[in-house]
Amino acid sequence: MTEPRELLRDLVETPSVSGEERAVAERLVAYFEAHDREAYLDDVGNVRAPADDSVLLTSHMDTVPGDIPVREASGELWGRGACDAKGPLAAMAVAAARTGVSFVGVVGEETSSRGARHLVETRDQPDAVINGEPSGWDAVTLGYRGFVKGQFVAETPSAHTSRPGPNALEYAMDWWHDVETAFDEEGDSAVFEQVTTKPVAMDGGVTEDGLAFESTVEAQLRVPPALTVADVRATVEDALPTYVGEEATVDVEWTDAIPPVMESPRNRVAAALRAGIRGADGEATHLRKTGTSDMNIYRGAWDCPMATYGPGDSSLDHAPDERIDLEEYDRGVAVLTAAAERLQP
């Protein structure tokens, strides 16, 4: 087994559900130390291997839950995280060790992006960034939608259900209907260009003291690059019921936001990755993804060229049959190595 494949298998065999990344982090530190590189864990558990900052290679160490027995079959490595994102993570570690560029393995991408948030707060801006997520070895991801998370809350005085007038539960239902309607105008445009609205939790009923009705709706909305987080928040707030009685309250409490990102295909990171793909006998394509990644965090903080790249089929992210083609992984290592060399002065 080649060293890059051995590293990949070790990482996949080591569970690292969000919040439990330390064992994988220690394996990466050992890998860099074995290649005479400084590496250490920072205050939140990110692996930092600082070096030539002409480009920072960075991917996440955490996975979603799910026990998939690790095995090789038909040239593929199966296991949780094989695709998202230990394939890109291992490929970046190998490329960084070979070329002497900076590397960071971050924690918490699948939950709060706390590793990426800590990174941008505690290190200088690099000259360029390649973020690691599965794109396929011959594709470069340039865009991600942003993310807004909030909670609708309402309270109305308790009353007999035979009495007319809306209670807190009805306010919540009306509000959500109006939110969905407000974003319907996107019509037949591509999903990437739309605001996707999703309720993720609902609760309500009579309060414990019996004196009021209350309701809460936790919601997540994806923000396309044509809009800002502020645009989406304003539309959601405009949908709040306006027929509220004097003793009732309705509000939206915002809890998190990540701006969208759309990079130019002409930036030098995308160009370096395309050159690497051509050098491996591929023809590069560009992708826009409907989700959100740590690249959104980096773009929000750093004014440098960036793109996302990594071996692996993203349709297998979080899936019960998650796996990565090992030849594709090898090509991903070669592409990242060539791109990092091209970005160095």
- Residues marked active site are found at 62, 109
Round to whole Å and give the CA distance between 60 and 85: 6
Round to whole Å and give the CA distance between 307 and 112: 21
Which stretches does DSSP call E strand in 158-248?
A: 196-206, 212-223
Q: Is 144 left (phi over 0), alpha (psi -120 to 50) or beta?
A: beta
CB atoms within 10 A of CB 125: 14
- β-pair type (146-157, 212-223): antiparallel
Round to whole Å and give the CA distance between 114 and 45: 10
- β-pair type (212-223, 196-206): antiparallel
The first and second tokens of residue 291, run together, are: 């989700």
Task: Look at the alpha carbons of 61, 63, 68, 74 in this order and tell me if their dihedral is positive or negative.
Answer: negative
